[in-house]
Amino acid sequence: MTQRLRCDETPAWTALQAHYEQVGRHFDVRADFEHNPDRFAQFSQQAPHVFADLSKNRIDAQAEALLLQLAEQCGLVEHRDAMFAGGCINSTEHRAVMHYLLRNQAVAATSQEAAAPVLRGAVADAAMPEVNATLRAMLAFAEAVRADEQITDIVNIGIGGSDLGPQMAVVALQAYAIPGKRFHFVSNVDGDELGEVLTQIRPHSTLFLVASKTFTTRETMTNAHSARQWFLDQAGPGADLGRHFAALTTNLEAAQAFGIRTTFGFRDWVGGRYSMWSAIGLPLAIAIGEAGFRALLGGAHAMDQHFLTAPLAKNLPVRLGLLDVWYRNFHGFSSRSVAPYHHGLRRLPAYLQQLEMESNGKRVDVHGRALSYSTSPVVWGEPGTNGQHAFFQMIHQGTDIVPVEFIAVREPAHDMPGHHAQLVANALAQAQALLQGRSDAGGHRHFPGNRPSSFFVMERMEPVTLGALIALYEHRVFVSGSIWGINSFDQWGVELGKQLAQDIQPRLATGDVHGLDPSTAGLLRQFRPRF
Ligand SMILES: O=P(O)(O)OC[C@H]1O[C@](O)(CO)[C@@H](O)[C@@H]1O
């Protein structure tokens, strides 16, 4: 990997620090709206399927210009192009990062057209035949399951990226889901979760999907083995495990050894949290069918094209990623709240927590050198309007500034009179209140205002728009991670806890506390009589 300038060593970083001290620290968005009639136009844009208004953020044209210089001086374009050329940018795992190839097709692609990818080049040309063959096989299987009236319940067993993406999308696209089938997602090793699902299903009408990139994740394997045992016990003699289990994994051998004969694979260049476009998306494909799944891929691909080709100043993932850097490193904001004003997007905050914090929660750069600046903010949220009646108090009047991201659609999927207008009015009003504040009352009733927010608008919640929205988030995370000079595609931070759990589990049975710190030893004794 070529040595790039670290972001805090660039002239643009120094200029941004000076600009923050002179202007940014006291920048009042309301005053800028008064002086600058073009502010809304300057800081809003239409990207594929997503309109974004960033004008309520604490950013001015000069800050954005300096951030674009920062991007240039940090080699953002070269890094992006290296990813799209199949370069080994996940350097700590020696892997390329090419999940975008999984959606390398135009929105209207049929299965024939999909054979002609839009992104070309040696790497894409080499990978696409296998990508398309797997996609076709997986979608054919999805269609067969959809047509199989005997199968009423689909149970996805997976965790992290093998759960959050497909679950978020199945929930979001409920209006497009095939009637007569129920979708369950089991991720936690807490037996309560699997146990609850097992009380709702019958073996002969259930399809279990064991989703695990590695097919070694302990939680998933424990749940899969328990599900298999339950199936064999319940189905009795002649139970056809092969008909009722399928695996979605890069480790086809391990899946076969488990006794599964229907497997759908993908390559190691698809990271777990970037895998909903791969075979990991099978539950979603069963829910929304081939046409829906292809539309989802097409929407994401449209965003890929935008990220690849739009000038940086009008490139939405770039603008968002740079805004994240501005807020995190210069304003010092440590969290961002996501407020989807759409009931279907209620799992989006959980999905984004993994996408953003597992990708960019790093304290060393790609060369392993400790960083002297902050990286990933905490990402959190709840759907509106619920959040308004819970934590928005803190966002309006608390001591910390929390940028909020509103997401709303123009067309609802329901036809309940009055609901959608009220929902949208609330989203607009919250963003307005955060900006304007209230100074006609003092003390407890005073709202300081000038609290930043972004607002995303989509036509409706449908496969193509969801695909574009998620790809937008993926690329935005890439942009901030790239500026920070970290590897957004590894996750070594999850390893230590996994290893220690393996050491502790047998100790729960034996009571051996040798070598443990006093707190862990004391806590282990709290559980001892149970094991
Ligand atoms: O799909 P797998 O291999 O079971 O991994 C599940 C999840 O575990 C992690 O590797 C780490 O927790 C995630 O990145 C991943 O999405």
- 214 C-alpha to ligand 1 centroid (Å): 8
- 432 beta partners: none
- 101 C-alpha to ligand 1 centroid (Å): 20
27 and 157 share one domain: no
pLDDT of residue 531: 62
> Over the stretch 468-524, which tens digit does the pLDDT of each residue have?
999 999 999 999 999 999 999 999 999 999 999 999 999 999 999 999 999 999 999
Residue 404, H or E segment? strand 404-411
Reduce the DSSP state of residue 406 to 3 states and report it. Answer: strand
Taking the C-alpha atoms of residue 157 and residue 248, their distance in angstroms, rounded to an integer, is 10
Catalytic: 389? yes
Residue whose CA lies nearest to ligand 1 atom number 14: 272
Cβ atoms < 10 Å from Cβ of 268: 15
Average pLDDT of the residues in 356-362:
98
- 79 C-alpha to ligand 1 centroid (Å): 25
Residue 113 has pLDDT above 80, yes or no: no
pLDDT of residue 238: 86
Q: Do you know the residue count of the chain? A: 531
364 and 482 share one domain: yes
Atom of ligand 1 nearest to the CA of 275: 16
Structurally, how many domains does the chain consist of? Answer: 3
> Over the stretch 505-515, which tens digit does the pLDDT of each residue have?
999 999 999 99
pLDDT band of 107, cuts 50, 70, 90:
low
132 and 176 share one domain: yes
CATH number at residue 142: 3.40.50.10490
Q: Does residue 95 lie in a domain region? A: no
pLDDT of residue 118: 65
Residue 324 has pLDDT above 90, yes or no: yes
Residue whose CA lies nearest to ligand 1 atom number 16: 161
Average pLDDT of the residues in 57-63:
98
Reduce the DSSP state of residue 338 to 3 states and report it. Answer: strand
- 359 C-alpha to ligand 1 centroid (Å): 12
Sheet holding 262-264, edge to edge: 182-186, 153-157, 206-211, 245-248, 262-264
Q: Does residue 389 lie in a domain region? A: yes
Q: Does residue 293 lie in a domain region? A: no
The 3-class SS string of 195-256 reads HHHHCCCCHHHEEEEEECCCCCCHHHHHHHHHHHHHHHHHHCCCCCHHHHEEEECCCHHHHH
Average pLDDT of the residues in 366-382:
98
Angle between helices 164-172 and 463-484 (to 10 degrees): 140
Taking the C-alpha atoms of residue 324 and residue 63, their distance in angstroms, rounded to an integer, is 12
pLDDT of residue 105: 82
Using CA atoms, how far residue 135 sits from 214, 290, 302, 507, in Å, is: 19, 10, 18, 45
Residue 221 has pLDDT above 50, yes or no: yes
pLDDT band of 3, cuts 50, 70, 90:
low
Ligand 1 neighbours, Cβ below 6 Å, are 159-162, 212-214, 217, 220, 272-273, 358, 491, 494
ipTM value for the complex: 0.98
Question: What percent of the chain clears pLDDT 70, i.e. is strictly above it?
Answer: 97
387 and 262 share one domain: no
pLDDT of residue 124: 87
233 and 332 share one domain: no
Residue whose CA lies nearest to ligand 1 atom number 7: 160
Average pLDDT of the residues in 7-15:
98
Q: Does residue 292 lie in a domain region? A: no
pLDDT band of 12, cuts 50, 70, 90:
very high
109 and 125 share one domain: yes
pLDDT band of 449, cuts 50, 70, 90:
very high
54 and 35 share one domain: yes
- Contact call for residues 463 and 166 (beta carbons, < 8 A): no
Residue that is last in its domain, among 252, 285, 318: 285
Residue whose CA lies nearest to ligand 1 atom number 10: 272
Q: Which two tokens stand for residue 45?
A: 């844009």
Q: Does residue 501 lie in a domain region? A: yes
Residue 410 has pLDDT above 50, yes or no: yes
Q: Which of 215, 223, 491 should be mutated for ligand 1, with most atoms under 8 A from CB?
A: 491
479 and 500 share one domain: no
DSSP state of 357: I
- 269 C-alpha to ligand 1 centroid (Å): 14
Annotated catalytic residue within 389, 411, 446, 459: 389
244 and 332 share one domain: no
505 and 478 share one domain: no
> Over the stretch 158-213, which tens digit does the pLDDT of each residue have?
999 999 999 999 999 999 999 999 999 999 999 999 999 999 999 999 999 999 99
Atom of ligand 1 nearest to the CA of 217: 4
Using CA atoms, how far residue 70 sits from 15, 113, 311, 483, 484, in Å, is: 9, 39, 15, 8, 11
| Dihedrals phi, psi of 109, to nearest 5 degrees | -60, 135
Taking the C-alpha atoms of residue 75 and residue 82, their distance in angstroms, rounded to an integer, is 10
Give the residue from 340, 335, 293, 311 showing the smallest Cα distance to 105.
293
Instruction: Give the range of the structural domain holding residue 499, as residue numbers without chain letter.
Output: 495-527
> Over the stretch 122-139, which tens digit does the pLDDT of each residue have?
888 899 999 999 999 999
> Over the stretch 63-106, which tens digit does the pLDDT of each residue have?
999 999 999 999 999 999 999 999 999 999 999 999 999 999 86
Atom of ligand 1 nearest to the CA of 220: 4
275 and 308 share one domain: no
Annotated catalytic residue within 219, 290, 356, 358: 358
Residue 233 has pLDDT above 90, yes or no: yes
Average pLDDT of the residues in 261-285:
97
53 and 79 share one domain: yes
Residue 111 has pLDDT above 90, yes or no: no
Q: How many CA atoms lie within 13 A of 71 on its CB side?
A: 27
pTM above 0.90, yes or no: yes
Residue 2 has pLDDT above 80, yes or no: no
- 272 C-alpha to ligand 1 centroid (Å): 6
Catalytic: 56? no
